[in-house]
Amino acid sequence: MDDISIASLLAILAGLIVMSGFFSSSETALMALNRYRLRHLVEQKNRGAVLAHRLLQQPDRLIGVILLGNNAVNIIAASLATIIGYRLYGEPGIFMASAVLTLVIIIFAEVTPKTLAALYPERVAFPASFVLSPLLRVTWVIVRSINFVTNGLLQLVGVSPGTSRNEALSPEELRTVVQQAGGLVPDVHQEMLLSILDLESVTVEDIMIPKSEIVGIDLDNDWPDIVEQLIHTQHTRVPVFRDSMDQVIGFTHLRRLLKYLKDDSLTEKILLADLRPPYFIPETTPLNKQLLNFQKEKRRVALAVNEYGDIQGLVVLEDILEEIVGEFTTDPAAIHQDIFPQKDGSYLINATITVRELKRALQWELPTDGPKTLNGLILEHMQDIPKSGTSLRLYGNPVEILQTQHNSVKTVKLSIVHSGMQQAVP
Protein backbone atom coordinates (compact mmCIF):
# COMPACT_ATOMS: atom_id res chain seq x y z
CA MET A 1 0.00 0.00 0.00
CA ASP A 2 2.95 2.32 0.68
CA ASP A 3 3.94 2.00 -2.99
CA ILE A 4 0.66 3.53 -4.18
CA SER A 5 0.71 7.29 -4.60
CA ILE A 6 -1.63 9.61 -2.75
CA ALA A 7 -3.20 10.64 -6.05
CA SER A 8 -3.99 7.02 -6.89
CA LEU A 9 -5.47 6.42 -3.44
CA LEU A 10 -7.64 9.52 -3.80
CA ALA A 11 -8.82 8.34 -7.21
CA ILE A 12 -9.71 4.91 -5.79
CA LEU A 13 -11.49 6.59 -2.85
CA ALA A 14 -13.51 8.77 -5.25
CA GLY A 15 -14.52 5.65 -7.19
CA LEU A 16 -15.62 3.93 -3.98
CA ILE A 17 -17.76 6.95 -3.03
CA VAL A 18 -19.40 6.82 -6.46
CA MET A 19 -20.11 3.11 -5.95
CA SER A 20 -21.57 3.85 -2.51
CA GLY A 21 -23.82 6.44 -4.08
CA PHE A 22 -24.89 3.87 -6.67
CA PHE A 23 -25.95 1.34 -4.02
CA SER A 24 -27.73 4.00 -1.95
CA SER A 25 -29.64 5.41 -4.91
CA SER A 26 -30.52 1.92 -6.18
CA GLU A 27 -32.15 0.98 -2.90
CA THR A 28 -34.24 4.16 -2.77
CA ALA A 29 -35.23 4.02 -6.43
CA LEU A 30 -36.31 0.38 -6.39
CA MET A 31 -38.38 0.86 -3.24
CA ALA A 32 -39.95 4.05 -4.62
CA LEU A 33 -41.14 2.48 -7.89
CA ASN A 34 -44.87 2.65 -8.56
CA ARG A 35 -45.81 -1.03 -8.42
CA TYR A 36 -48.79 -0.66 -10.75
CA ARG A 37 -46.85 1.27 -13.38
CA LEU A 38 -44.05 -1.28 -13.01
CA ARG A 39 -46.46 -4.11 -13.78
CA HIS A 40 -47.69 -2.23 -16.82
CA LEU A 41 -44.13 -1.79 -18.08
CA VAL A 42 -43.43 -5.47 -17.45
CA GLU A 43 -46.40 -6.34 -19.66
CA GLN A 44 -44.89 -4.02 -22.28
CA LYS A 45 -41.70 -6.13 -22.14
CA ASN A 46 -39.51 -3.29 -20.84
CA ARG A 47 -36.24 -5.08 -20.01
CA GLY A 48 -35.29 -2.80 -17.13
CA ALA A 49 -38.79 -3.10 -15.64
CA VAL A 50 -38.68 -6.89 -15.93
CA LEU A 51 -35.37 -7.06 -14.04
CA ALA A 52 -36.55 -4.58 -11.40
CA HIS A 53 -39.78 -6.50 -10.91
CA ARG A 54 -37.85 -9.75 -10.56
CA LEU A 55 -35.57 -8.21 -7.92
CA LEU A 56 -38.54 -6.83 -5.97
CA GLN A 57 -40.17 -10.25 -5.87
CA GLN A 58 -37.53 -11.20 -3.26
CA PRO A 59 -36.95 -7.99 -1.27
CA ASP A 60 -34.83 -9.70 1.40
CA ARG A 61 -32.25 -10.79 -1.20
CA LEU A 62 -32.38 -7.41 -2.95
CA ILE A 63 -31.73 -5.53 0.28
CA GLY A 64 -29.08 -8.08 1.17
CA VAL A 65 -27.01 -7.59 -1.98
CA ILE A 66 -27.37 -3.77 -1.85
CA LEU A 67 -26.31 -3.53 1.78
CA LEU A 68 -23.53 -6.05 1.23
CA GLY A 69 -22.11 -3.97 -1.59
CA ASN A 70 -22.71 -0.62 0.13
CA ASN A 71 -21.13 -1.63 3.43
CA ALA A 72 -18.18 -3.32 1.74
CA VAL A 73 -17.51 -0.19 -0.31
CA ASN A 74 -17.88 2.12 2.72
CA ILE A 75 -15.55 0.00 4.87
CA ILE A 76 -12.88 -0.07 2.16
CA ALA A 77 -13.33 3.68 1.66
CA ALA A 78 -12.89 4.29 5.39
CA SER A 79 -9.69 2.23 5.40
CA LEU A 80 -8.28 4.15 2.42
CA ALA A 81 -9.21 7.48 4.01
CA THR A 82 -7.38 6.44 7.19
CA ILE A 83 -4.25 5.54 5.20
CA ILE A 84 -4.39 8.81 3.25
CA GLY A 85 -4.89 10.87 6.39
CA TYR A 86 -2.08 9.14 8.24
CA ARG A 87 0.36 9.54 5.32
CA LEU A 88 -0.47 13.24 4.97
CA TYR A 89 -0.76 14.42 8.58
CA GLY A 90 0.26 11.52 10.80
CA GLU A 91 -1.96 10.44 13.68
CA PRO A 92 -4.10 13.65 13.67
CA GLY A 93 -4.82 12.92 10.03
CA ILE A 94 -6.69 9.74 11.03
CA PHE A 95 -9.36 11.75 12.86
CA MET A 96 -9.41 14.42 10.14
CA ALA A 97 -9.91 11.76 7.44
CA SER A 98 -12.81 10.15 9.39
CA ALA A 99 -14.58 13.50 9.81
CA VAL A 100 -14.13 14.55 6.17
CA LEU A 101 -15.10 11.13 4.82
CA THR A 102 -18.24 11.06 6.95
CA LEU A 103 -19.32 14.44 5.56
CA VAL A 104 -18.46 13.45 1.99
CA ILE A 105 -20.37 10.15 2.22
CA ILE A 106 -23.45 11.83 3.70
CA ILE A 107 -23.54 14.48 0.94
CA PHE A 108 -22.30 12.61 -2.11
CA ALA A 109 -23.14 8.97 -1.33
CA GLU A 110 -26.36 9.24 0.67
CA VAL A 111 -28.47 12.42 0.59
CA THR A 112 -27.81 13.56 -2.98
CA PRO A 113 -28.15 10.20 -4.78
CA LYS A 114 -31.13 9.15 -2.65
CA THR A 115 -32.93 12.42 -3.32
CA LEU A 116 -32.29 12.03 -7.02
CA ALA A 117 -33.54 8.45 -6.91
CA ALA A 118 -36.71 9.45 -5.03
CA LEU A 119 -37.46 12.09 -7.66
CA TYR A 120 -36.72 9.89 -10.69
CA PRO A 121 -37.07 6.26 -9.50
CA GLU A 122 -37.48 4.69 -12.94
CA ARG A 123 -34.46 6.47 -14.42
CA VAL A 124 -32.29 5.15 -11.60
CA ALA A 125 -33.86 1.77 -10.80
CA PHE A 126 -34.02 0.32 -14.32
CA PRO A 127 -30.34 0.85 -15.22
CA ALA A 128 -29.32 -0.23 -11.71
CA SER A 129 -31.20 -3.51 -12.20
CA PHE A 130 -28.78 -4.46 -14.98
CA VAL A 131 -25.95 -4.27 -12.44
CA LEU A 132 -27.69 -5.67 -9.37
CA SER A 133 -29.11 -8.75 -11.12
CA PRO A 134 -25.72 -10.27 -12.10
CA LEU A 135 -24.19 -9.06 -8.81
CA LEU A 136 -26.87 -10.98 -6.94
CA ARG A 137 -25.99 -14.13 -8.88
CA VAL A 138 -22.27 -13.69 -8.11
CA THR A 139 -22.80 -13.08 -4.39
CA TRP A 140 -25.71 -15.52 -4.09
CA VAL A 141 -24.05 -17.73 -1.47
CA ILE A 142 -23.08 -14.82 0.79
CA VAL A 143 -26.47 -13.09 0.43
CA ARG A 144 -28.32 -16.36 1.07
CA SER A 145 -26.29 -16.94 4.23
CA ILE A 146 -27.00 -13.42 5.48
CA ASN A 147 -30.71 -13.80 4.70
CA PHE A 148 -30.82 -17.12 6.54
CA VAL A 149 -29.63 -15.46 9.73
CA THR A 150 -31.78 -12.31 9.37
CA ASN A 151 -34.92 -14.28 8.49
CA GLY A 152 -34.35 -16.44 11.55
CA LEU A 153 -34.17 -13.33 13.72
CA LEU A 154 -37.38 -11.99 12.17
CA GLN A 155 -39.19 -15.25 12.86
CA LEU A 156 -38.19 -14.98 16.51
CA VAL A 157 -40.22 -11.77 16.78
CA GLY A 158 -43.19 -13.23 14.91
CA VAL A 159 -42.52 -11.84 11.41
CA SER A 160 -42.67 -14.19 8.44
CA PRO A 161 -40.35 -12.91 5.68
CA GLY A 162 -41.93 -15.24 3.16
CA THR A 163 -45.35 -13.61 3.50
CA SER A 164 -45.95 -11.44 0.45
CA ARG A 165 -47.25 -7.95 0.91
CA ASN A 166 -50.84 -7.38 -0.15
CA GLU A 167 -50.69 -4.66 -2.80
CA ALA A 168 -54.36 -4.79 -3.74
CA LEU A 169 -56.15 -1.45 -3.48
CA SER A 170 -59.33 -1.03 -1.47
CA PRO A 171 -62.20 0.90 -3.11
CA GLU A 172 -61.33 3.95 -0.99
CA GLU A 173 -57.68 3.78 -2.04
CA LEU A 174 -58.64 3.33 -5.68
CA ARG A 175 -60.93 6.35 -5.36
CA THR A 176 -57.97 8.41 -4.12
CA VAL A 177 -55.84 7.22 -7.05
CA VAL A 178 -58.54 8.28 -9.53
CA GLN A 179 -59.02 11.67 -7.88
CA GLN A 180 -55.30 12.36 -7.90
CA ALA A 181 -54.87 11.37 -11.55
CA GLY A 182 -55.17 15.04 -12.46
CA GLY A 183 -54.80 15.82 -16.15
CA LEU A 184 -53.87 12.22 -16.96
CA VAL A 185 -57.58 11.31 -16.87
CA PRO A 186 -60.23 13.76 -18.21
CA ASP A 187 -62.71 15.05 -15.62
CA VAL A 188 -65.65 13.32 -17.27
CA HIS A 189 -63.83 9.99 -17.18
CA GLN A 190 -62.88 10.54 -13.54
CA GLU A 191 -66.55 11.08 -12.70
CA MET A 192 -67.50 7.89 -14.51
CA LEU A 193 -64.83 5.86 -12.72
CA LEU A 194 -65.88 7.25 -9.34
CA SER A 195 -69.51 6.50 -10.17
CA ILE A 196 -68.60 2.89 -10.90
CA LEU A 197 -66.96 2.67 -7.48
CA ASP A 198 -70.13 4.15 -5.94
CA LEU A 199 -72.36 1.43 -7.41
CA GLU A 200 -71.50 -0.87 -4.52
CA SER A 201 -72.98 1.57 -1.99
CA VAL A 202 -76.17 2.27 -3.96
CA THR A 203 -79.10 -0.15 -4.00
CA VAL A 204 -81.96 -0.76 -6.40
CA GLU A 205 -84.26 0.99 -3.93
CA ASP A 206 -82.32 4.23 -4.42
CA ILE A 207 -82.98 4.50 -8.17
CA MET A 208 -86.15 2.49 -8.86
CA ILE A 209 -89.34 4.01 -10.25
CA PRO A 210 -91.88 3.88 -7.39
CA LYS A 211 -94.75 1.47 -7.79
CA SER A 212 -97.26 4.33 -8.04
CA GLU A 213 -95.35 5.78 -11.02
CA ILE A 214 -95.06 2.58 -13.07
CA VAL A 215 -96.80 2.82 -16.44
CA GLY A 216 -98.39 -0.51 -17.39
CA ILE A 217 -101.19 -2.19 -19.31
CA ASP A 218 -104.24 -3.22 -17.30
CA LEU A 219 -105.96 -6.06 -19.14
CA ASP A 220 -109.19 -5.28 -17.26
CA ASN A 221 -109.52 -2.06 -19.28
CA ASP A 222 -111.44 -1.91 -22.53
CA TRP A 223 -109.46 -3.31 -25.44
CA PRO A 224 -109.59 -0.12 -27.57
CA ASP A 225 -108.14 1.81 -24.62
CA ILE A 226 -105.35 -0.76 -24.30
CA VAL A 227 -104.47 -0.46 -27.99
CA GLU A 228 -104.51 3.32 -27.74
CA GLN A 229 -102.18 3.15 -24.74
CA LEU A 230 -99.79 0.87 -26.59
CA ILE A 231 -99.73 3.23 -29.58
CA HIS A 232 -98.89 6.29 -27.52
CA THR A 233 -96.66 4.84 -24.82
CA GLN A 234 -93.15 6.26 -24.57
CA HIS A 235 -91.68 3.03 -23.23
CA THR A 236 -90.31 0.07 -25.17
CA ARG A 237 -90.95 -2.56 -22.49
CA VAL A 238 -94.28 -2.31 -20.69
CA PRO A 239 -95.56 -4.40 -17.77
CA VAL A 240 -98.91 -6.09 -18.25
CA PHE A 241 -101.18 -6.80 -15.26
CA ARG A 242 -104.76 -7.39 -14.20
CA ASP A 243 -106.48 -4.96 -11.85
CA SER A 244 -103.24 -3.81 -10.13
CA MET A 245 -99.49 -4.01 -10.49
CA ASP A 246 -99.46 -6.64 -7.75
CA GLN A 247 -101.06 -8.98 -10.31
CA VAL A 248 -98.38 -8.49 -12.96
CA ILE A 249 -98.37 -11.13 -15.69
CA GLY A 250 -95.29 -10.21 -17.66
CA PHE A 251 -93.61 -7.64 -19.92
CA THR A 252 -94.35 -6.95 -23.54
CA HIS A 253 -91.85 -5.55 -26.01
CA LEU A 254 -93.55 -2.88 -28.10
CA ARG A 255 -91.28 -3.48 -31.08
CA ARG A 256 -92.68 -6.99 -31.51
CA LEU A 257 -96.23 -5.64 -31.55
CA LEU A 258 -95.70 -2.93 -34.15
CA LYS A 259 -96.72 -5.07 -37.12
CA TYR A 260 -99.99 -6.00 -35.38
CA LEU A 261 -100.68 -2.41 -34.37
CA LYS A 262 -99.95 -1.26 -37.92
CA ASP A 263 -102.61 -3.45 -39.53
CA ASP A 264 -104.96 -3.25 -36.50
CA SER A 265 -104.80 -7.03 -35.92
CA LEU A 266 -103.57 -7.04 -32.33
CA THR A 267 -105.68 -9.17 -30.00
CA GLU A 268 -105.44 -10.01 -26.32
CA LYS A 269 -104.35 -13.53 -27.24
CA ILE A 270 -101.44 -12.18 -29.32
CA LEU A 271 -100.49 -9.80 -26.53
CA LEU A 272 -100.49 -12.58 -23.92
CA ALA A 273 -98.46 -14.87 -26.19
CA ASP A 274 -95.83 -12.14 -26.57
CA LEU A 275 -95.37 -11.63 -22.84
CA ARG A 276 -92.09 -12.44 -21.15
CA PRO A 277 -92.34 -13.56 -17.50
CA PRO A 278 -91.58 -10.79 -14.99
CA TYR A 279 -88.14 -10.66 -13.43
CA PHE A 280 -88.19 -9.97 -9.68
CA ILE A 281 -85.23 -8.70 -7.66
CA PRO A 282 -84.77 -7.66 -4.00
CA GLU A 283 -84.92 -3.90 -3.54
CA THR A 284 -81.77 -4.07 -1.40
CA THR A 285 -79.60 -5.43 -4.25
CA PRO A 286 -76.47 -3.27 -4.80
CA LEU A 287 -76.33 -1.74 -8.26
CA ASN A 288 -72.96 -3.29 -9.14
CA LYS A 289 -74.42 -6.74 -8.51
CA GLN A 290 -77.67 -5.97 -10.32
CA LEU A 291 -75.77 -4.75 -13.36
CA LEU A 292 -74.10 -8.15 -13.58
CA ASN A 293 -77.45 -9.89 -12.93
CA PHE A 294 -79.03 -8.03 -15.85
CA GLN A 295 -76.18 -9.20 -18.04
CA LYS A 296 -76.41 -12.78 -16.79
CA GLU A 297 -80.19 -13.02 -17.15
CA LYS A 298 -80.23 -11.17 -20.50
CA ARG A 299 -82.80 -8.74 -19.07
CA ARG A 300 -83.14 -4.96 -19.14
CA VAL A 301 -86.02 -4.38 -16.76
CA ALA A 302 -86.96 -5.84 -13.36
CA LEU A 303 -89.51 -5.40 -10.61
CA ALA A 304 -88.11 -4.67 -7.16
CA VAL A 305 -89.78 -6.41 -4.21
CA ASN A 306 -89.42 -6.01 -0.45
CA GLU A 307 -88.79 -8.72 2.11
CA TYR A 308 -92.46 -9.75 2.00
CA GLY A 309 -92.46 -10.15 -1.77
CA ASP A 310 -94.56 -7.04 -2.40
CA ILE A 311 -93.68 -5.02 -5.51
CA GLN A 312 -92.08 -1.70 -4.56
CA GLY A 313 -90.92 -0.34 -7.89
CA LEU A 314 -89.36 -0.91 -11.28
CA VAL A 315 -85.73 -0.59 -12.34
CA VAL A 316 -84.32 -0.67 -15.86
CA LEU A 317 -80.79 -1.11 -17.10
CA GLU A 318 -80.67 2.52 -18.28
CA ASP A 319 -81.21 3.70 -14.69
CA ILE A 320 -78.03 1.94 -13.60
CA LEU A 321 -76.08 3.20 -16.61
CA GLU A 322 -77.17 6.75 -15.78
CA GLU A 323 -75.56 6.33 -12.37
CA ILE A 324 -72.28 5.91 -14.27
CA VAL A 325 -72.49 8.24 -17.26
CA GLY A 326 -75.09 10.73 -16.05
CA GLU A 327 -78.63 11.60 -17.07
CA PHE A 328 -79.95 11.02 -20.57
CA THR A 329 -82.38 13.72 -21.70
CA THR A 330 -83.58 14.89 -25.10
CA ASP A 331 -84.97 18.20 -23.84
CA PRO A 332 -82.33 20.94 -24.26
CA ALA A 333 -84.20 23.16 -21.78
CA ALA A 334 -83.92 20.58 -19.01
CA ILE A 335 -80.85 19.71 -16.99
CA HIS A 336 -82.77 16.58 -16.00
CA GLN A 337 -85.97 15.09 -17.39
CA ASP A 338 -87.76 16.09 -14.17
CA ILE A 339 -86.05 19.44 -13.56
CA PHE A 340 -86.93 22.53 -15.62
CA PRO A 341 -85.11 25.85 -15.11
CA GLN A 342 -87.24 29.01 -15.12
CA LYS A 343 -86.32 32.53 -16.24
CA ASP A 344 -86.47 33.85 -12.67
CA GLY A 345 -83.71 31.43 -11.62
CA SER A 346 -86.01 28.92 -9.96
CA TYR A 347 -86.79 25.32 -10.94
CA LEU A 348 -89.99 23.40 -11.53
CA ILE A 349 -89.37 19.87 -10.30
CA ASN A 350 -91.36 16.65 -10.55
CA ALA A 351 -91.47 15.50 -6.93
CA THR A 352 -91.14 11.85 -7.94
CA ILE A 353 -87.48 12.50 -8.81
CA THR A 354 -85.11 10.52 -6.63
CA VAL A 355 -83.04 12.31 -4.04
CA ARG A 356 -79.86 11.00 -5.65
CA GLU A 357 -80.79 12.42 -9.06
CA LEU A 358 -81.76 15.78 -7.57
CA LYS A 359 -78.57 15.96 -5.54
CA ARG A 360 -76.43 15.11 -8.55
CA ALA A 361 -78.21 17.47 -10.95
CA LEU A 362 -78.20 20.57 -8.72
CA GLN A 363 -75.29 19.85 -6.36
CA TRP A 364 -77.80 20.21 -3.53
CA GLU A 365 -76.60 18.70 -0.26
CA LEU A 366 -79.41 16.29 0.55
CA PRO A 367 -79.37 13.16 2.75
CA THR A 368 -79.50 9.89 0.83
CA ASP A 369 -79.98 7.56 3.79
CA GLY A 370 -83.66 8.45 4.34
CA PRO A 371 -86.54 8.93 1.86
CA LYS A 372 -85.66 8.05 -1.70
CA THR A 373 -87.72 10.72 -3.52
CA LEU A 374 -88.24 14.46 -3.18
CA ASN A 375 -91.88 13.75 -2.32
CA GLY A 376 -90.79 11.48 0.53
CA LEU A 377 -88.29 14.07 1.72
CA ILE A 378 -91.02 16.75 1.86
CA LEU A 379 -93.49 14.47 3.64
CA GLU A 380 -90.86 13.52 6.20
CA HIS A 381 -90.05 17.20 6.78
CA MET A 382 -93.70 18.29 7.06
CA GLN A 383 -94.88 15.23 8.98
CA ASP A 384 -98.10 15.70 7.00
CA ILE A 385 -99.39 15.77 3.43
CA PRO A 386 -99.09 19.44 2.38
CA LYS A 387 -101.69 21.27 0.31
CA SER A 388 -100.98 23.17 -2.90
CA GLY A 389 -99.52 26.60 -2.12
CA THR A 390 -97.67 25.43 0.98
CA SER A 391 -94.14 26.81 1.30
CA LEU A 392 -91.26 25.44 3.33
CA ARG A 393 -87.52 25.71 3.64
CA LEU A 394 -85.95 22.37 2.75
CA TYR A 395 -82.25 21.96 3.57
CA GLY A 396 -81.51 25.65 3.13
CA ASN A 397 -83.68 26.40 0.07
CA PRO A 398 -87.29 27.66 -0.27
CA VAL A 399 -89.69 25.13 -1.78
CA GLU A 400 -93.29 25.85 -2.83
CA ILE A 401 -95.79 23.02 -3.33
CA LEU A 402 -97.49 23.65 -6.68
CA GLN A 403 -99.48 20.44 -7.12
CA THR A 404 -100.54 17.46 -5.02
CA GLN A 405 -102.30 14.34 -6.19
CA HIS A 406 -103.34 11.07 -4.55
CA ASN A 407 -101.89 11.99 -1.14
CA SER A 408 -98.50 12.88 -2.58
CA VAL A 409 -96.65 15.92 -3.84
CA LYS A 410 -96.46 16.05 -7.64
CA THR A 411 -94.79 19.34 -8.58
CA VAL A 412 -92.74 21.86 -6.61
CA LYS A 413 -91.01 25.15 -7.27
CA LEU A 414 -87.47 25.41 -5.91
CA SER A 415 -85.79 28.79 -5.41
CA ILE A 416 -82.01 28.90 -5.12
CA VAL A 417 -80.40 30.62 -2.15
CA HIS A 418 -77.58 28.16 -1.47
CA SER A 419 -74.52 29.40 -3.36
CA GLY A 420 -73.13 25.89 -3.89
CA MET A 421 -76.03 24.87 -6.13
CA GLN A 422 -76.13 24.96 -9.88
CA GLN A 423 -77.83 28.08 -11.22
CA ALA A 424 -80.70 27.90 -13.64
CA VAL A 425 -80.20 28.82 -17.29
CA PRO A 426 -83.28 30.33 -19.01
Per CATH, the number for 202-325 is: 3.10.580.10
The 8-class DSSP code of residue 211 comes to: G
Pick the CATH number of 339-414 from 3.40.50.300, 3.30.43.10, 3.40.50.150, 3.30.465.10: 3.30.465.10
What string of pLDDT tens digits covers the 426 residues of the chain? 567 788 888 999 999 999 999 999 999 999 999 888 898 899 998 999 999 999 998 888 899 899 999 999 999 999 999 998 888 888 888 889 889 999 999 999 999 999 999 999 999 999 999 999 999 999 888 888 888 888 888 788 877 765 555 566 777 777 777 777 766 777 777 888 888 888 888 899 888 888 888 999 999 999 999 999 998 888 889 999 998 899 999 999 998 998 888 888 889 999 999 999 999 999 999 999 999 999 999 999 999 999 989 999 999 998 898 888 876 655 544 567 788 888 888 899 998 888 888 888 888 888 877 888 899 899 998 888 888 889 999 988 899 999 988 788 999 999 877 544 544 443
Residues 131, 245: Cα–Cα separation, whole Å: 74
As annotated, the residues of the chain forming the CATH 3.10.580.10 domain(s) are: 202-325
Residues 139, 43: Cα–Cα separation, whole Å: 29
As annotated, the residues of the chain forming the CATH 3.30.465.10 domain(s) are: 339-414
The 8-class DSSP code of residue 230 comes to: H
pTM score, two decimals?
0.60
**Helix, strand, or coil (residue 32):** helix
- How crowded is residue 136: how many other Cβ atoms within 10 Å of its Cβ? 20
Dihedral sign (CA 149, 152, 156, 161): positive
